[in-house]
Amino acid sequence: MATPQTDTLPRRLGLLSAVGIVIGITIGSGIFRTPAVIATRVPDPTLMLLVWVIGGALALCGALALAELAAAFPRTGGLYVYLREGWGRLPAFLFGWAQLVLVRASATGGIASVFGAYAMRSFGYDPAADPTTSNLIAAGAIVFAATMNILGVQIGAAIVGMSTIAKYGALALLVLLSFAIGGQHGASASNFTAAGGPVEAGLFGLALISVLWAYDGFADLSYAAGEVRDPQRTLPRALIAGTLAIVGIYLATNLAYLYVQPVGAMAQSPLVAADTLQALLGQVGVGIVSVVVMISTFGSVNGTLLVNPRIFFAMAEDKLFFQSIAHVHPKFQTPWIAIILTASLGVFFVLTRTFEQLADTFVLTMWPFYALSVAAIYRLRRTRPELHRPYRAIGYPVLPALFILGAVYLITNALINEPLWTSVTFGIVLLGIPVYLVMFRRQNLP
């Protein structure tokens, strides 16, 4: 198979754009949708908040570890590159295969589905009464975001940056309003200590899956590392700063939700941000938060389509994927075929699956690869001690190990409590092995 004539993607993203991508992709649908799922699975306020703390700690441990790999390998593809360098071509291919058949379609579809629901809510319609229209709106958002990203990486980054400012500011305003005027509208600090229902260990683990959907995004900047300026300094700073900002605002937002609504009410509130501001400001609050969530989720869909097609681009350049995927648009200098592929899969998934199915599938499929990528730090330090490492992971070897143990717990808990769904998910990933052996094993790196 001939090696394609591809152009290097230009480095156009600075530090602020990189931090904006981390925050903009991560703050998408999770903080506006998953609190209800978590409150249902963990109906105790203290333990519910603990799930968010554990999820934030795991995300931070992951970001600190991956920052070392991002600085050492500042190339397009991110985790795909780290897996290839640390463990070889087959694990790297399986990661890309999982992105193709499950992960990226689930992520794009899950975020876009929340955009569709809040869009209908902002115009006074109930998305639960007309899910078809909601899903069609979501599909349209994916198509539009893909078009913007084909037109240029700077356009996509600008959209992510503007939406990041809007949604981070809106969450901060929600927190301030909740604690400033919530007491006048029935909010109470007693909600933090109220007796909750019994919590099963297995459901606690499944709630952690939902939390990690909300925190996911800390690694996504690495996929576009080949387009970041001064990457060996910028990538670690952006990954760590962006993740810290997310953990802080998420914990504050959940405290605000719980202050305004007891945990039982949160469990019945799938559009929890809208219901919180409705309690504080009436219908005006619903309209405001619906618009903000639309901006937030569209920005996250846009960011997903900005960075994730770079995985397929990097694989194609390594001859581990179909070569046409690596083509760069001659005018816009973007991997336009990879973007179209990612968007098409997202549209298909959003039209065929529910939000909960999309979110759980994404987390369960991604976290084994996150753990394997972080584990590559140990192997590379032993096998390639001469590798230039401009940044070394803070807390090594303890913090990376905690991240890996968290991933093992997550996977084990899912296998015990949801054996059929978990087995099917992993089975689909492992189907990539015969695909690799038949089609790509004999391909040599360019």
- Which letter does DSSP use for residue 101 in this model? I
Tokens of 220: 């996504």
Separation CA 194–CA 24 (nearest Å): 34
- Which letter does DSSP use for residue 328 in this model? P
Tokens of 196: 């909750």
The pLDDT of residue 396: 92
Q: Is residue 446 part of a domain?
A: no
Grouped pLDDT means (10 residues each) for the chain, 446 residues: 45 80 78 87 91 91 88 84 93 90 80 85 80 90 88 68 78 91 90 80 85 83 76 83 90 94 87 86 81 79 75 81 77 82 85 76 88 96 92 90 92 88 90 90 61
Contact 325, 310 (CB under 8 A): no
Q: Closest Cα partner for 56 from 258, 300, 251, 293?
A: 251
Tokens of 89: 């071509």
Q: Is residue 4 part of a domain?
A: no
Q: Is residue 338 part of a domain?
A: yes
Q: Closest Cα partner for 307 from 49, 3, 103, 56?
A: 103
C-alpha angle with apex 341: 146 to 437, nearest 5 degrees? 155
SS3 category, 238: helix
Burial state string for 278-292 with b = 16 or more CB within 10 A and e = fewer than 16: bbbbeeebbbbbbbb
Separation CA 143–CA 25 (nearest Å): 17
> Token pair 């499950």 is at which residue?
102
Work out the angle between the directed axes of helices 283-307 and 104-122 (0-180°, nearest 10).
Answer: 160
Separation CA 114–CA 301 (nearest Å): 10
Contact 95, 80 (CB under 8 A): yes
Q: Is residue 6 part of a domain?
A: no
Domain that holds residue 259: 15-385+392-440
Determine which helix (DSSP H) or strand (DSSP E) holds 128, and give its type and residue range.
none
Contact 264, 183 (CB under 8 A): no
Separation CA 410–CA 211 (nearest Å): 11
* Helix, strand, coil percentages in the chain from 3-state DSSP, rounded to 5: 75, 0, 20
C-alpha angle with apex 210: 165 to 356, nearest 5 degrees? 100
Neighbours of 189 (CB within 10 A): 12
The pLDDT of residue 8: 55
The pLDDT of residue 3: 37
Q: Is residue 152 part of a domain?
A: yes
> Token pair 């006074």 is at which residue?
124
Separation CA 18–CA 431 (nearest Å): 34
Query: Could you tell me where the DSSP H helices lie in 308-354?
Result: 309-317, 336-350
C-alpha angle with apex 299: 172 to 282, nearest 5 degrees? 45
- Which letter does DSSP use for residue 135 in this model? H
The pLDDT of residue 4: 39
Separation CA 140–CA 235 (nearest Å): 32
- What CATH number corresponds to the domain at position 76? 1.20.1740.10
Q: Report how far apart, in Å, the C-alpha atoms of 220 and of each of 36, 84, 291, 304 are.
A: 25, 17, 25, 8
Q: Is residue 445 part of a domain?
A: no
Number of domains making up the chain:
1
Q: Is residue 8 part of a domain?
A: no
Contact 15, 237 (CB under 8 A): yes
Separation CA 434–CA 96 (nearest Å): 14
**Threshold 0.75, pTM exceeds:** yes
